[in-house]
């Protein structure tokens, strides 16, 4: 609940008054001496072509950007063998998730999500004044509860795949079964799909109710530029388009995204380095005997065991704090029984991961 003085609160929308603000992962004011493995950014800088194009664009900042981001939409459409009218771009994929809620949810049209998953969904739901139905995972294997998702009585369902924070990837046949049987718009949040073996783009041909959201924040090293996109049937895109802010992508973000998406060689080189580091992380944690989900994303979700052989919320928090004191930032989600005994570690550079491993070994002694 927001705290607002009485004389002001009578003017404030009830959805805003009852709203809890989103709490983002820690973003330090300076990176000096710090190892940042807490918000799943790419450890590598964006393609060198990005700085070149952004610098050129600066001289045109006196003009408004293309309100439709046409060049960028067409590039994305070509990349995925879709047509331009199946693509919309936005200010990070959060913008697209917000547009989906604006378009398909209200007080009579509830929202659904997997629990636990991305903590922005409940915030968007409360802002829109819609009821939220949470479909819980059975246990910490995070297997997709297909029948429960289908049975949810919602108008829009958020399916995070690969799932966050576990990193688990769901079977495409299961996702298609959900799309075909759920009586709702199915938003597949594919923020981490570039690190996974499979994605749902082929399913777009088979179900009109699918919206896929993607981001350039993770695999394209552009978290700071705030660019995401959604793929869907042209009619759905048209609806989302009608709801967005007119200039939802500034000129620099448009050209930065264009340059990053065009430099396939750089993209693939960085992606392979992240995947190789993820393999090394899996090996490290399996040697320690820590329960670790096989990740299809750019992070690892693992259950720490302390020197006495215990794992628990307290143990996970103790490691989180130990690492924080060494200026290594990872994530601990204390608010759910399926996450509280684990920590989530974004995949960093080899150097940073080596320092992390040394520190974990020290903590275990
Ligand atoms: C599951 C999921 N969806 C969406 C996002 C938002 O990404 P963006 O930076 O494009 O807004 C994140 C960011 O961490 C995420 O974890």
**C-alpha span between 141 and 292 (Å, rounded):** 9
Q: Is 91 in the pocket of ligand 1 (CB under 6 A)?
A: no
Question: Could you tell me the pLDDT band of residue 2, with boundaries at 50, 70 and 90?
Answer: low
> What is the reported pLDDT for 41?
97
Within 142-264, strands assigned E span 156-160, 185-189, 210-215, 228-231
- List CB contacts of 156: < 8 A, sequence separation 6 or more: 100, 101, 104, 105, 109, 111, 112, 184, 185, 187
Q: What pTM did the predictor assign?
A: 0.96
User: pLDDT per residue over 159-208, tens digit each?
Assistant: 999 999 999 999 999 999 999 999 999 999 999 999 999 999 999 999 99
Q: Is 191 in the pocket of ligand 1 (CB under 6 A)?
A: yes
Q: Is 223 in the pocket of ligand 1 (CB under 6 A)?
A: yes
User: pLDDT per residue over 49-62, tens digit each?
Assistant: 999 999 999 999 99
**C-alpha span between 116 and 219 (Å, rounded):** 23
Helix (H) or strand (E) holding 136: strand 132-136
CA 290–ligand 1 middle distance (angstroms):
26
> What is the reported pLDDT for 1?
62
- For a mutational test of ligand 1's pocket, the pick from 101, 213, 217, i.e. the residue with the most ligand atoms closer than 8 A to its C-beta, is 217
- What is the distance of C-alpha 328 from the center of its chain? 21
Which atom in ligand 1 lies closest to the alpha carbon of residue 228? Answer: 10
* 284-293: Cβ within 8 A, 24+ apart: 284/357, 288/360, 288/364, 291/140, 293/141, 293/142, 293/166, 293/167, 293/168
User: pLDDT per residue over 78-135, tens digit each?
Assistant: 999 999 999 999 999 999 999 999 999 999 999 999 999 999 999 999 999 999 999 9
Domains of the chain: 6-44+265-364 (3.90.1150.10), 59-262 (3.40.640.10)
Q: Is 341 in the pocket of ligand 1 (CB under 6 A)?
A: no
Which atom in ligand 1 lies closest to the alpha carbon of residue 215? Answer: 10
Q: In the predicted model, what is the mean pLDDT of residues 306-333?
A: 97
Q: Within 10 Å of residue 1's Cβ, how many Cβ atoms?
A: 7
């Amino acid at each position: 609940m927001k705290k607002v003085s009485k004389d002001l609160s009578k003017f404030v929308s009830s959805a805003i008054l009852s709203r809890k603000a989103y709490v983002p992962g820690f973003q330090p004011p300076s990176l000096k001496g710090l190892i940042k493995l807490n918000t799943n950014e790419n450890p590598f800088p964006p393609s060198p072509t990005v700085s070149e194009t952004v610098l050129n664009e600066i001289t045109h900042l006196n003009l408004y950007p293309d309100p439709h981001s046409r060049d960028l939409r067409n590039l994305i459409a070509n990349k995925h063998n879709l047509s331009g009218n199946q693509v919309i771009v936005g200010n990070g994929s959060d913008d697209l998730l917000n547009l989906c809620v604006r378009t398909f949810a209200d007080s009579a049209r509830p929202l659904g999500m997997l629990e636990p998953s991305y903590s922005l969904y409940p915030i968007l739901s409360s802002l829109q004044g819609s009821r939220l139905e949470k479909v819980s995972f059975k246990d910490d294997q995070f297997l997709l509860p297909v029948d429960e998702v289908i049975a949810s009585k919602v108008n829009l369902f958020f399916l995070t795949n690969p799932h966050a924070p576990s990193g688990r990837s769901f079977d495409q046949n299961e996702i298609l079964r959900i799309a075909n049987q759920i009586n709702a718009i199915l938003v597949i949040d594919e923020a981490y799909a570039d690190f996974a073996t499979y994605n749902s783009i082929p399913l777009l041909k088979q179900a009109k109710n699918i919206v896929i959201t993607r981001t350039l924040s993770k695999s394209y090293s552009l978290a700071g530029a705030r660019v995401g996109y959604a793929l869907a049937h042209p009619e759905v895109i048209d609806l989302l388009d009608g709801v967005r802010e007119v200039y939802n992508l500034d000129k620099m973000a448009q050209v930065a995204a264009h340059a990053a998406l065009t430099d396939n060689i750089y993209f693939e080189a960085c992606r392979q380095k992240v995947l190789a580091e993820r393999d090394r992380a899996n090996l490290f944690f399996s040697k320690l005997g820590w329960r670790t989900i096989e990740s299809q994303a750019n992070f690892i979700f693992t259950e720490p065991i302390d020197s006495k052989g215990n794992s628990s919320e307290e143990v996970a928090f103790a490691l989180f704090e130990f690492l924080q004191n060494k200026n290594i930032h990872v994530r601990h989600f204390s608010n759910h029984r399926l996450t509280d005994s684990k920590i989530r570690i974004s995949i960093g550079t080899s150097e940073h991961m080596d320092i992390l491993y040394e520190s974990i070994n020290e903590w275990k002694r």
